[in-house]
Amino acid sequence: MQVIATAGHVDHGKSALVRALTGMEPDRWAEERRRGLTIDLGFAWMALPDGERVAFVDVPGHERFVPNMLAGVGPAPAVLVVVAADGGWMPQSAEHLAAIDAMGIRHGLLAVTRCDLADPGPATRQALEHLSRTSLGAVEAVAVSAVTGAGLPELRAALVRLVAALPRPDAAAPVRLWVDRSFSIRGSGTVVTGTLPAGTIRSGQELLLTPSLRPARIRGIESLNQSAASVSGVARVALNLRGIPADVPARGMALVEAGRWTMTKLLDVRLTQPLPPRLPPELTLHVGSARTLTRLRLLGSADTAIARLTLREALPLHVGDRLLLRDPGSAGVTILGATVLDVAPPALVRRGAAAAAGRELAAWPDLPAPADLLRRHGLLRASAVTAMGVTGSLPPPVTASGWLADPARWAELRRQLGELVAAHARRDPLAIGLPPEAARAALRLPDRALVEALARLPGPQDAPAQLGLDGGYLRLGEPRKPLPAQEPAPALPPAALPPAALPPAALPPRVAAAVRAVLADLAGAPFMAPEAGRLRELGLDGRAIGAAARAGLLLRITEQIVLAPGAETEAARALAGLPQPFTAAEARQALGTTRRVAIPLLEYLDRAGITQRLPDDRRRVRLTPALPTLRSRKKSGSACIGGLGPPSAQTRDLGRPYEGCPRTHKEFQHDRCGRSARPRTGGCGGGHLRGASPRAGHAVGRRAGGPPDRAGPHLRGPEERPVQRGPGPAHRRPDDL
């Protein structure tokens, strides 16, 4: 089906022609028929010779009813321009044509009526000349008489050609049905009618009635007096609505699909004609069957023809929609077309923002692409982009919640976030980090998920340190590049470290000195953690210890028990030398420490998967350190500062983290297997052999907690990761933060 609206001066024979073509009466009202004057829209339809059905929306020609005319022409894809042979070109011929042009309607026909009363030649030439200068361009012209029937077969044939040339609309397009009539039928309830330009409406579907967005369920559909289960545009449709009282719908409202349109009062548009010199403060805006008042502000110079509209009432719009603007006081004189470029434009706050916006939008196409809108907005939800009516594929979202970002803006935000976090760390070096909410507010981001997504980005190549989210806080991690190899000699005591060896984001000197003192204390007795009094004396409170631990300079076993980084490796090594399993007292002795340290340290090792606590409270070592690997890795500069090197090695690297610290304790190897750096009794035995059989491999993977001698570390499948998570932040790589 196609829908064609009539257009032309009053009394030129539009209604008579529709009647002659369809055999139906387009003047619905008794008053119209009594006065012989179309006041409101009329509807009639016919089958063309090729079987295609055409519905006509017959519009009033009188200047007083131009709004009704616009409501009828608005959603129609094609027009039948009517000029009387004996009347010629008239004011409303011109006004209707200006409206058609402003709406950008490109398909039409010229019918020169009343050709039984005068030679159609002059009127035809005159009208074609006017039409050719509009969006209609060159059209076919047919001379007809509604009274004698002359020319009607030629007109039908021309209609076949016109309809065949019309674009086929997308049946999956978002539904927007502008209501042009509303009434109630006894027993059925509320009915609305309209021209559906595209998309599909199905019985049972729920649409929203604008502007209230009240839900309306489609109870029944009729198209050209026939009921249907669904109807696709272009079509004239009558919808029986459930949930909407009969007195609610009115012409100008629309039924729309949820989530596919933007209700807006603020628009940026491109004017299709130059702006007349004098305009009233408010213009009437027409779109579809709707009209409202709008203020117009030019963005930049008049040449760019870009304007911002502020509407009295919100309308459901898309980018690319065509609007008509009219000076209500100067009938027929001022009619402007406008193409919607942005349905949710940003506020113009800064000086010069309007001109800048004008310049930017002047370069846009009439149907902006997702990249255009993203460049302007920086960040948009994918759902908002869809509701704007933007076509074309969207870039991948930057968050799980569906935010899309302009690449340049996103990179800039990442840079700003890095600066923000660095500035915060400079202001308060012991702070755990910057709360993401504070970063969100400072960067004026609409969603915290964006801050988290930014923090996960690798950041610029030249950034001094990696940014990350650690324990819910934003902070700078370790510097990316290891410092040059001019390291102090291994034997150098920590306190002798030259200040130059400290990383750029080092701890405050006071804290660094205290940490050096603790490490010096621990150098002789690695498991004699300093007493609370000693920590107090050094000024190491919870914040300072936390900062040092985060920097990988101390290993924090509990709030108050700190050891040198790598102490767990030393502990594992010492405990591996005990007969397995061992008691806490044996462990305490082997470690040369007190219960105060031994018990929390063992629990720490349990959590790290280095030891395993058995039901009888004894423990066994699950993983032992691989010393040679460690040393060679250390030399190559890729060893892990996450506590896996010997304390002496760590102290040399005070404040300097390593790259490439693995998440898992790769330096720990399976005890007693052939790959172990320090093989103990036995060897690999059946463990690996059994691990190689699929059944055993599967079973082994699931019984890590078997008896110590059998299901010990060497029984774990080789593919099994010994430790899923490091025991603390010191084990994390900078980019894991």
Ligand X SMILES: Nc1nc2c(ncn2[C@@H]2O[C@H](COP(=O)(O)OP(=O)(O)O)[C@@H](O)[C@H]2O)c(=O)[nH]1
Select 34 or 278, whichever has its Cβ closest to Mg ion.
34
Q: Least distance (Å) from Mg ion to the CB of residue 49?
A: 25
Whole-angstrom distance, CA of residue 304 vs CA of residue 271: 9
Is 223 a binding residue for Mg ion by CB under 5 A? The answer is: no
Whole-angstrom distance, CA of residue 56 vs CA of residue 5: 6
Question: What secondary structure letter does DSSP report for 275?
Answer: P
Partner that binds at residue 12, options Mg ion, ligand X, none, CB closer than 5 to 8 Å by kind: ligand X
Partner that binds at residue 382, options Mg ion, ligand X, none, CB closer than 5 to 8 Å by kind: none
The helix/strand/coil state of 464 is: coil
Q: Percent helix, strand, coil in the chain (nearest 5)?
A: 35, 25, 45
Select 114 or 588, whichever has its Cβ closest to ligand X.
114
Select 38 or 68, whichever has its Cβ closest to Mg ion.
38
Select 114 or 326, whichever has its Cβ closest to ligand X.
114
3-state secondary structure 505-542: CCCCHHHHHHHHHHHHHHHHCCCCCCCHHHHHHHCCCH
Listed in sequence order, the residues at least 6 apart from 544 whose beta carbon sits closer than 8 Å to its beta carbon are: 430, 507, 511, 514
Concatenating the DSSP letter of every residue in 553-609 gives: SSEESSSS-EE-TTHHHHHHHHHHTSPSSB-HHHHHHHHT--HHHHHHHHHHHHHTT
Q: Least distance (Å) from ligand X to the CB of residue 392?
A: 43
Per-residue binder mask for Mg ion (CB under 5 A), 614-643, x = binder: ------------------------------
Whole-angstrom distance, CA of residue 671 vs CA of residue 679: 7
Is 92 a binding residue for Mg ion by CB under 5 A? The answer is: no
* Residue with smallest beta-carbon separation from ligand X: 13
Spatial contact of 298 and 314, defined as CB atoms under 8 Å apart: no
User: Binding residue for Mg ion (CB under 5 A) from 2, 5, 22, 38?
Assistant: 38
Q: Least distance (Å) from ligand X to the CB of residue 215?
A: 39
Q: Which residues bind ligand X (CB under 6 A)?
A: 8, 10-16, 36, 38, 61, 113-114, 116-117, 145-147
Select 28 or 456, whichever has its Cβ closest to Mg ion.
28
Residues that bind Mg ion (rule: CB under 5 A) add up to a total of 3
- Return the structure tokens found at 386: 């869809």
Q: Least distance (Å) from ligand X to the CB of residue 70?
A: 16
Listed in sequence order, the residues at least 6 apart from 287 whose beta carbon sits closer than 8 Å to its beta carbon are: 74, 315, 317, 321, 322, 323, 324
Q: Least distance (Å) from ligand X to the CB of residue 387?
A: 40
Select 61 or 717, whichever has its Cβ closest to ligand X.
61
Partner that binds at residue 11, options Mg ion, ligand X, none, CB closer than 5 to 8 Å by kind: ligand X
Compute the CA torsion angle 605, 611, 615, 618 (nearest 10 deg).
-90
Select 5 or 551, whichever has its Cβ closest to ligand X.
5
Select 108 or 609, whichever has its Cβ closest to ligand X.
108
Region binding Mg ion by CB under 5 A among candidate stretches 33-41, 195-203, 310-318, 691-699: 33-41
Q: Least distance (Å) from ligand X to the CB of residue 124?
A: 14
Select 134 or 145, whichever has its Cβ closest to ligand X.
145
Whole-angstrom distance, CA of residue 209 vs CA of residue 258: 10
Q: Least distance (Å) from ligand X to the CB of residue 10?
A: 5
The helix/strand/coil state of 674 is: coil
Q: In Å, what is the CA distance from 333 to each residue of 326, 336, 415, 569?
A: 8, 10, 53, 89
Partner that binds at residue 10, options Mg ion, ligand X, none, CB closer than 5 to 8 Å by kind: ligand X
Q: In Å, what is the CA distance from 543 to each residue of 419, 426, 479, 546, 565?
A: 23, 15, 21, 5, 18
Is 22 a binding residue for Mg ion by CB under 5 A? The answer is: no
Whole-angstrom distance, CA of residue 16 vs CA of residue 147: 8
Per-residue binder mask for Mg ion (CB under 5 A), 2-21, x = binder: ------------xx------
Is 68 a binding residue for Mg ion by CB under 5 A? The answer is: no
Q: Least distance (Å) from Mg ion to the CB of residue 59?
A: 8
Select 12 or 516, whichever has its Cβ closest to ligand X.
12
Q: Least distance (Å) from ligand X to the CB of residue 351?
A: 53
Residues at the site binding Mg ion, with contacts judged by CB under 5 A: 14-15, 38
